[in-house]
Amino acid sequence: MLSTASLIVTLLANVGSTLMAPTDLVDASNAPRVAEVIQSMGYRAQMDTDGVGDPMIQSSATGSRFVVYFYGCTDNKDCKAIQFAAGFALDDGIAPEIINSWNKENRYGKAYIDAENDPIIEMDVNLEGGVSASNLKRQMELWEITLGEFKAHIGQ
């Protein structure tokens, strides 16, 4: 027979696990669910695969196309993280000082210059273990803000 203290501890543990285990968790192992969350915000989210067969989502925000890459995948599934990425093909490329100043002054969105001297911006999001749909939406909003600020920074 359980003592009152044991019963209370058991009940609290059950309540705590219920409160801490949201049913709307989103993780990178379910690419269509990630796309669904993006679409629920009014964005286009077209499922695709990248060059190695991992899931990929094509979308757009602030008038620019971007891609959501999936990383840490095992056999092109069971991925752990996503990365928002956008590139800009500029006629004259971009000066390294502009990219360096972005990386120095901004917390979100790392930037670099590709082989054609064009600017690329990326933002990684770890989804291992799952996050709420609300959290993923906030990451998407942060990406849109970051992308818009980067475009202004590079004069686009």
Domain limits, the chain? 25-153
Residue 13 reports pLDDT greater than 80: no
Structure token pair of residue 41: 């915000």
The terminus-to-terminus CA distance of the chain in angstroms comes to: 71
pLDDT on residue 9: 45
Query: Which CATH code fits 25-153?
Result: 3.30.1460.10
pLDDT on residue 62: 80
25-51 pLDDT, tens per residue? Answer: 999 999 999 999 999 999 999 999 999
| Average model confidence (pLDDT) across the chain | 88
pLDDT on residue 63: 87
94-124 pLDDT, tens per residue? Answer: 999 999 999 999 999 999 999 999 999 999 9
pLDDT on residue 23: 66
Residue 12 reports pLDDT greater than 60: no
pLDDT on residue 21: 53
User: Angle CA(51)–CA(55)–CA(58) in degrees, nearest 5?
Assistant: 85
Strand order in the sheet with 64-71: 46-49, 55-61, 64-71, 81-87, 119-126, 110-113
Q: How confident is the model at residue 61 (pLDDT cuts 50, 70, 90)?
A: confident
